[in-house]
Structures are given as structure tokens and as C-alpha cells.
Amino acid sequence: MATTPQPTTGSRTARAREVCAPRGGRARSAVGRRSPSPSSPPNSAPANALSRYRRKVSNHPLVACDDPAGRRRGARMNLRAIAAADPATPQRQRNCGAVPIDSQVEIRIKDGSAYYCGLETCGNVWLCPVCSAKIHHRRAGELREALAIWEATGHAASLVTITIPHELGDRLSKLVDAERAAWRQVTAGAAWQRLKSRLGIAGHVIALEFTWGDENGWHPHYHVLLIHDQRLDAAAIAAVHGHIHSRLAASCRNHGLRPPDQLHAVRIDPNVSATAAGAYIAKGSDWSLALELARGDLKTSRASSRTPHQILADYYQTGDSGDRELWREYSRATHGLAAVRWSRGLRVLMLGPAAEPERADEELAAEDVNGNLVEVIPLSVWWRIRSYGLEHAVLVAAELAGLGRSQRPGACESAT
């Protein structure tokens, strides 16, 4: 990726939000330079289109997609294009949303939202903003359903946030190893089994998230939802805190990190509601416990820190090679990690034995959503759309005016 810096104004977060949004005017390439208009768009897919990283971001004016869902979709498509321009990005991810898997590309509409069918998907929950949104959406929906059933039967849940001590200069891989080791120690051995039995803890759902701060570097943290059949009193909360904190402290010693803070390293929000989880959980008027745990893709970080996708957007805007290296470090450290995991047997306990088997991220990203067909795009036209960076503009046009005449149900990749 090129690293030519550009003059910038405003905060990094503001610039990231600006570049994530679909914009008017000529599309910029993902290396921070103006890309010339193609004199003759290709009639078919060039053999080396991906290897040359000629992907462009969406250039549709904001006024045509002023609903929040449309803006988020456009932002994700932009960020996916930016990530695809990095030579370090895996080939499968560069193909995502770009390379047709058949002889045509389709546009379908589901619940008023248009999306493309017949394109490859990568299923990378960490690096691909589009696949990440679909995966998190489906995981959050499943968790929301499980929590509603659990609450309806009079049971409770508590949210635990675990933060590993971190300083500027700490490698992300080291911090992730320490945090994973800490949680393994929390749930290993007879002490945890006795605590679970005494407090009625049926299991847990755990989600991993990342931010970066200019003062303290990488900040990986776990959100752990403890599922229990009775409300936790003050003594029970203290017992859970002490058990987790002692194992976290041991893991920090083993990995050469400073001792975890007694107050902030382990935070417990006890007896939370699935529909209203308190000040920390309520990130918006419709924020729920399921979204807090499973939809890290919807969050933006505070002004003092950035999410990985904000880092990617900042690199696109400024050409800062430091942001490029942060993004690549994040890519390496998250390889093979799960974003959301259920403890053994808990999913069946909460959803019932008739619940369908848990699906892999790749399956969720390519899930059949049975939208209605509104337009068929020949490959020659598809490559022309891509060469001009009009992917999002075409979807907005389909939603506003309707491009096609047929309304046949089908299945394909959706955008959430």
C-alpha cells in the first residue's frame, strides 16, 4: 500500500467517519490518490484486476442514502475496498463482494434493503466489514432470542468486562495470548466448578473486542455474559470478581505484564436485563445486551481511542504508515480467533434441543436470505460498475426506484 501523506484537518475519528461514508464526486483509490476515469471500461473481468488492487470505493452522494442502515452499508463497502487494496490482505478477502461465482450478478431486495447475489464471500469476522456485519447480526439475533427465553423463565445474567493491562509498545499478539490464557485459567479446575454450582451459573457467552489508544496502545478486552438461574447478591458478585481477578493477575505475571488494576481490570454489571442493560450497555436507545455482546461491528470508539476499522479508514485518509502497520498487526493477531463463543452445552440449554446446530462464520456470511430478484447484471456490466466504483450507488438506486421488473424469490449474499 502506498504511504503518501495528505494534508488533514479535524480529529482522526471525524476523518474516519468521513471516509467511511459514501461520498459524491470521483471515487478515490484506496491508496489516497485520485484515480483517473477509465477511458474504456472492460467488457469482461481482467485477469489481473485484483492483483493490481484497482478496487475503488463507493462514490454515491449521501443525500440518496440518508437512512442509517444505508449509510452503514456504504461505509462497510468502502472499508472492504480499502482493505482489499493492501497486498497483505488474503486473496479470499480481496475476492469478497467483487468476484462473481457464476455467469451473472443479481440484485435482490429483502425488507427494503438491496444487496448483491452471486459474488464470493470471505466470512472474515475481523477484517471484512461487510461479512463482519452479517455474522454479528446473526449472532446477536440468536443471542437475543436465547436471552428472551432465559428471562421469561425467571432466570438472570451478568455482564463481566475483562481488560488486560496494556501499555504503548505492547505487541497485540502478546496481549491476546495473556487474555486468552487468563480466561482458560478462570474456567479450569475444581474452584470454578464449585463456584458455578454454588451460584447457579449455567455457562457463559464470551466476545472479544479491540481498540487502540494513542497513549496506551492496543486494548483487547473480553465481554463475558454469565448465565445464571438466580440473582447474584453482593457476596456472590465479590466471589466472582475475586476468582476472575486472581487468575487474570497470574496470567499477567506469566506474560510479563504489570499487575491488573483491582478496580478496573474486572468490571461486573450484575443481574442485567436482556432488553435494558444499564448505562454501560445502553450505547443507544435501542441498544441491548445481545448487541453489546455480539455486535462489535456497530460500535465506534471514544475520541481518545480507535477501533481497527477506524484505523483502516485513517490510513486511507492520511497515508500514515503507522496506521498501516497497526492494521496489519491486528490482521495477524486475530487470525483463527472466534469473535463470539458459547460455553459447552449452554446454547442448547437456552434455545432448547430443537435449536439448529451452530453455524460457522463462513456459513453465516453466505446465508440464504430469500430476497426478491429485481435485476440481473451481465458480467460485462458488473465489471463496468466496479471500475467506476458504483456498487453502492446501484444498490441505492434499486431501493429508491426499483431497477427490474421480475420479483422471484432466491438466495444469496446479503448486507446487514
Least confident window among 40-49, 53-62, 244-253, 406-415 = 53-62
CA–CA dist 115, 367 (Å, integer): 13
Separation CA 302–CA 12 (nearest Å): 11
Average pLDDT across the chain, whole number: 78
What pLDDT score was predicted for residue 414? 52
Helix (H), strand (E) at residue 412? none
pLDDT of residue 48: 35
Identify which of 396, 328, 402 has the alpha carbon closest to the alpha carbon of residue 73.
Answer: 396
SS3 78: helix
Contact 224, 160 (CB under 8 A): yes
Q: What's residue 303's pLDDT?
A: 56
Residue 399, classified by CB atoms within 10 Å of its CB into exposed (0-12), middle (13-18) or buried (19+), is: buried
Residue 183 confidence (pLDDT) above 90: yes
Where do the domains of the chain lie?
Answer: 12-121+366-400, 134-299+335-361
Residues 6+ apart with CB under 8 A from 264: 163
What pLDDT is attached to residue 34? 30
Residue 10 has pLDDT above 90, yes or no: no
The string of pLDDT tens digits covering residues 278-309 is 223 323 223 344 433 444 444 554 457 899 99
> Which pTM does this prediction carry?
0.76
Report CA 60 to chain centroid distance, whole Å: 23
